[in-house]
Amino acid sequence: MPGPYADKEIVLGITGSIAAYKACELASRLVEGGATVRAVLTGAAQEFVGAASLEGITGNPAITSMFGQATNPEIEHIAVARWADLFLLAPASANLIAKAAQGIADDWLTTSLLATRAPLLFAPAMNMHMYAHPATQANIATLTERGAHFVGPDSGALACGDVGPGRLIDPAAILERVRVLLNPVHPLAGKRVLITSGANHEPVDPVRFIGNRSSGKMGRALALEALRQGAEVTVVTGPHEAPLPRDAQSIHVETAAEMLEAVEARWNDTDIFIAAAAVADYRVDRPMAEKHKRDGSVLTLTLVPNPDIARHVGLKKRADQISVGFAAETHDAVRNATDKLSRKNFDLVVANEVGVAESGFGTDTNKAWLVAPGMEAEELPLMTKDALAVRIFARILTAVTASPDPSPVHGASR
Ligand SMILES: Cc1cc2nc3c(=O)[nH]c(=O)nc-3n(C[C@H](O)[C@H](O)[C@H](O)COP(=O)(O)O)c2cc1C
C-alpha cells in the first residue's frame, strides 16, 4: 500500500535547537510513509544531533556543510533545491527564520532556501521571548506573505524553564501539514465537509456514563484526507483518543443529543456529510442528579432510544448534498449496509467488520465494503484507516462530479 508521502522528495532542514532530536522521529515517519528524505544539518544542529543518526534513518548522506560536499553533484545545493517537493524546516530556529526572511545565504540550508521553488514549511522551536520578539514575528510575517507555511509552535513548558508558546509542535501535527502541502491538487476546494467522529458518553450520574469503544481514528483519517483534498473540514466529535487534525474545526460534544444539535446547526452549510461517530443508540432515561452510592442493591437503569442523527439529516438532504454512513457490523455487513442506504438516504455506506482482529473500534486498520445505490458492493482488503479514507473520498469525488447543479446557498462554493 503506497504511503502518504510515496514518491515525494523532502529536504528536512534541522537547526540548532534543543528540539533537534525530534527531527529523527520526523525523518523516520516520513521514510515509513514512502518519502525520500535528505537531511540537512546546520553547524549548530550538529551540536544537538548527529548526522550519522539521520543518515541511518533516511538511508541517504546527510548534508552538513556548504563546501567539500558541493563537489558531489548529487547533493549540490541547486540540484537538491530542484529535486525537492518540499523543504521541511524542523525545528526551525529564530536564526534560520531571520536569515530566510532576509535572504541571507551563508550556509548550505539557507542558500538552498533561496534556490528552491518548492513549498517551505517551517516548524519553529525557540524560547517564548525569542518567539514573541517583534523581530521574529516580523520575519514570520514576511515569510508568510511570500507564501511560506508555518506549523506551530505549541505552548507549554520549554527546556529553558519558561512556559509559553515556542515549543516544537507535535511531530504528528507537522506530518499532517506535510501531507496537505504535498498534494497540489485540491479537488474538494470550496467544499464543506462535516464529519461526526468518536464515541458518545451518555450520563448515568455526574461521574458515570455509558459509552462505547470508538477511538475516533476513522474520523481523524477522514478529516485528514478531506483537508488534503482542499476541503474546509468540521469535525463534531464525541470523546475520542485519536488527536484531531489541527486544521479542522472541531466541536466537542458528549451525548448523541448534543451531536445531533451540532450537526443540525451546520447542516445547511454542508456539502459532504460523513457519519463516522459511534452514536449511542440509547441513553439513560433520567440520569441521577447526584452520584449514586453503592448500597449493595440491584440498580436498574431504563434506557430510552436516542435520536438517529443520520436518519434525521437524511430526511432533509438536498440533491446537492452527499452523505456517507458507516455500518459497524458483526455479521451480514453488506446486507445491513444496503438496508441503511435507503433508510438513511445515504449515497455511500462503508460496511466494516467489528469484533474481528484488526478491524473496527480502536484498531489502526479496517476491513470494509463500499456499498452504494445501484452498484455491486466493493469488497476492500484489510487496510489502514488512512488508506480506507482515501478510497472513501475517491468514491465521494465521483459523486461530487456527478452531483446536480448547486443550490443558490452554495453557488459560490462550487
Ligand atoms: C542548549 C541550547 C539550546 C538552544 N535552543 C534553541 C532553540 O530551541 N531555538 C532557537 O532558535 N535557538 C536555540 N539555540 C540557539 C541557536 O542554537 C543559535 O541561535 C544558533 O546560531 C542557531 O543556528 P542555526 O539556525 O544555523 O541552526 C539554542 C542554543 C543552545 C546552546
Domains of the chain (ranges, CATH numbers): 9-182 (3.40.50.1950), 192-406 (3.40.50.10300)
User: How far apart are the CA of 254 and the centre of ligand 1, in A?
Assistant: 43
Dist. CA 237–CA 253, nearest whole Å:
6
Element (H, E) at 258: helix 256-266
- The sign of the CA dihedral 376, 380, 385, 388 is negative
Distance 228 CA to ligand 1 centre (A): 32
What is the tens place of the pLDDT at every residue in 100-141? 999 999 999 999 999 999 999 999 999 999 999 999 999 998
Q: What span, in angstroms and rounded, lies between the C-alpha atoms of 323 and 309?
A: 12
Q: Is the CB of 139 under 6 A from ligand 1?
A: no
pLDDT at residue 73 is higher than 90 = no
Rounded to two decimals, what is the model's pTM? 0.66
Calculate how far, in angstroms, residue 83's C-alpha sits from the geometric centre of ligand 1. 28
- How remote is the CA of residue 15 from the centroid of ligand 1, in Å? 7
The pLDDT-based confidence of 50 (bands split at 50, 70, 90) is very high
Mean pLDDT in the chain?
Answer: 88
Residue 160 designated active-site: yes
Percent of all residues in the chain with a pLDDT value above 90, rounded to a whole number = 61
Q: What is the pLDDT of residue 413?
A: 29
- Give the mean model confidence (pLDDT) for residues 345-353: 90
Report which of 101, 114, 103, 181 is spatially closest to residue 142, judged by C-alpha positions: 101
Whether the CB of 17 sits within 6 Å of ligand 1: yes
Q: Cα–Cα distance between 382 and 368 in angstroms, integer?
A: 7
Mutation test residue for ligand 1: of 95, 104, 160, 167, the one with most atoms within 8 Å of CB: 95
pLDDT digits (tens, 9 = 90+) for 350-378: 998 776 666 666 677 778 899 998 888 88
- Note the pLDDT of residue 80: 84
Query: From CA 235, how far away is CA 255, in angstroms rounded?
Result: 15
Ligand 1 in reach of 126 Cβ (< 6 A) = yes
Given this model, what pLDDT does residue 357 score? 62
Judge whether 351 and 367 are in contact, CB under 8 Å. no
Please report which confidence band the pLDDT of residue 1 belongs to, taking 50, 70 and 90 as the band edges: low
Give the tens place of pLDDT for each residue, 198-219.
Answer: 999 999 999 999 999 888 999 9
Q: Is the CB of 359 under 6 A from ligand 1?
A: no
DSSP 45: G
User: In the predicted model, is pLDDT for residue 406 greater than 70?
Assistant: no
